[in-house]
């Protein structure tokens, strides 16, 4: 996925507008925090990506992935990049401190949204897990700084995110299965369910996540059907388009509810290819849903900044998915069995 670094930003959640359901086929996911529209429109800041809570006041999105944690910095504290949304760091560190984003996370969660931290990104960032030991140690750090643990430096203060997404497009990758297993060991004592997702390229198997997706617990596969020949425009070309392999991968996962999401650009400039008119796109999605209903989870849109600038398209697509794809029974436990959890947040 492409991201753009820009330089220096409420809605009160009063009712649950939409609820993510892991057994549904009509969930809609987006990524927030990179302002991809603004990267191509530097002279129009009024239309740049809005604060996180702005995308949580209607039913368009069910899951919002905050992008990105771009530098794992295994010997110290991880580094975040949220474009222009937050630039303040904790004293004597490179770790962002974003209390306003933390407040927005809680507002979104109060409106029934899941808010997940995405690791990686498509630019030249410094990340990778080269061993199981690295994966386990980094999982402890992520748990303590962003999820249900405790840490002196929590970027979003006492907001507890709903999971972790892997948008891994470079770096060493042998340690990610251990990373996921260690996270799930923390989840087993939690009072909330967490999401573990990944955003592989549509070329199968993914060069960076292939071994992880075939060996570790995955709730959602947000397959990027763009920026590659294997986009939906080539659905009828069996040499380019391959959805069946992703369906089989989900069915073989240790998670019996593992799903595949069709990743799409939310605007004509959001990706190098893969953007289709709504009529063509709806026809393609309906074919995939009909053929692969048991593993079809919904759609993923890159990225939230295009909602403001291509709203009729994005809202129309979301409404159509929610109306035409099936939603089953109440959610079943996925990554986390229910238990008790006490989250403490230190004041110093």
What does the pLDDT look like over 292-335, one tens digit per residue?
999 999 999 999 999 989 999 999 999 999 999 988 644 444 45
What the block records as the tokens of 275 is: 């953007």
Position 1 scores a pLDDT of: 65
Query: Cα separation of 296 and 238, whole Å?
Result: 20
pLDDT tens, position by position, 308-320: 899 999 999 999 9
- Alpha carbon distances (Å) from 208 to 120, 125, 147, 233, 264: 11, 14, 25, 24, 20
The residues that are catalytic are 169
- Alpha carbon distances (Å) from 279 to 39, 59, 91, 320: 28, 21, 51, 11
Whether residue 126 has pLDDT greater than 60? yes
Position 19 scores a pLDDT of: 84
Position 305 scores a pLDDT of: 97
Closest CA to 321 of 346, 301, 347: 301
Closest CA to 103 of 52, 165, 57, 67: 52
Position 328 scores a pLDDT of: 62
Position 122 scores a pLDDT of: 87
Closest CA to 275 of 314, 237, 241: 314
Whether residue 179 has pLDDT greater than 50? yes
> Is residue 20 very low, low, confident or very high in pLDDT (cuts 50, 70, 90)?
very high
Task: Judge whether 182 and 141 are in contact, CB under 8 Å.
Answer: no
- Report the share of the chain in percent with pLDDT over 70: 89
Angle between helices 311-324 and 278-291 (to 10 degrees): 30
Query: Cα separation of 159 and 173, whole Å?
Result: 28
| HEC letters along 37-87 | HHHCCCCCHHHCCCCHHHHCCCCCCCEEEEEEEEECCCCCCCEECCCCCCC
Query: Cα separation of 242 and 235, whole Å?
Result: 8
Angle between helices 132-146 and 176-187 (to 10 degrees): 40
- Give mean pLDDT, residues 221-240: 95
Number of H helices, E strands in the chain: 9, 9
Query: Cα separation of 99 and 13, whole Å?
Result: 17
Position 9 scores a pLDDT of: 33
Whether residue 339 has pLDDT greater than 80? no
pLDDT tens, position by position, 136-168: 999 999 999 999 999 999 999 999 999 999 999
Q: Which residues contact 107 (CB under 8 A, 6 or more apart)?
A: 10, 11, 12, 13, 53, 56
Query: Cα separation of 158 and 63, whole Å?
Result: 20
pLDDT tens, position by position, 62-101: 999 999 999 999 999 999 999 999 999 999 999 999 999 9
- Give mean pLDDT, residues 208-224: 98
Closest CA to 133 of 76, 175, 164: 175
Three-state secondary-structure class, residue 94: coil
- Give mean pLDDT, residues 167-174: 96
State CA 340 to chain mean position distance.
26
Three-state secondary-structure class, residue 123: coil
What value does the mean pLDDT of the chain take?
90
């Amino acid at each position: 996925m492409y991201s753009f670094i820009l330089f220096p930003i409420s809605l009160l959640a009063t009712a649950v507008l939409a609820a993510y359901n892991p057994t549904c086929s009509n969930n809609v996911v987006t990524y927030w925090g990179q302002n991809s529209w603004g990267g191509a429109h530097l002279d129009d800041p009024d239309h740049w990506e809005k604060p996180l809570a702005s995308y949580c006041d209607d039913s368009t999105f069910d899951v919002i992935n905050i992008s990105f944690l771009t530098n794992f910095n295994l010997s110290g504290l991880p580094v975040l990049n949220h474009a222009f949304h937050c630039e303040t760091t904790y004293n004597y560190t490179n770790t962002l401190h974003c209390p306003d984003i933390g407040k927005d996370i809680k507002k979104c969660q109060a409106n029934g949204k899941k808010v997940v931290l995405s690791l990686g990104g498509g630019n030249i960032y410094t990340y990778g897990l080269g061993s199981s030991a690295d994966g386990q140690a980094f999982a402890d750090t992520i748990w303590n700084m962003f999820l249900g643990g405790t840490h002196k430096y929590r970027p979003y203060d006492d907001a507890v995110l709903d999971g972790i997404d892997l948008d891994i497009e470079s770096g060493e990758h042998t340690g990610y299965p251990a990373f996921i297993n260690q996270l799930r060991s923390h989840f087993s004592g939690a009072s909330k369910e967490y999401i573990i997702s990944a955003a592989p390229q549509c070329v199968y198997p993914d060069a960076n996540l292939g071994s992880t997706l075939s060996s570790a617990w995955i709730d959602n596969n947000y397959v990027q059907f763009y920026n590659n020949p294997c986009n939906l425009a080539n659905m009828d070309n069996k040499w380019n388009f391959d959805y069946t392999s992703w369906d089989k991968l989900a069915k073989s996962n240790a998670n019996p509810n593992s799903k595949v999401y069709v990743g799409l650009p939310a605007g004509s400039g959001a990706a190098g290819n893969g953007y289709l008119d709504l009529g063509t796109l709806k026809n393609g999605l309906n074919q995939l849903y009909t053929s692969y209903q048991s593993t079809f989870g919904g759609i993923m849109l890159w990225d939230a900044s295009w909602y403001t600038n291509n709203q009729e398209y994005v809202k129309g697509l979301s409404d159509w998915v929610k109306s035409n794809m099936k939603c089953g029974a109440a959610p079943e436990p996925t990554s986390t069995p229910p238990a008790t959890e006490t989250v403490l947040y230190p004041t110093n």
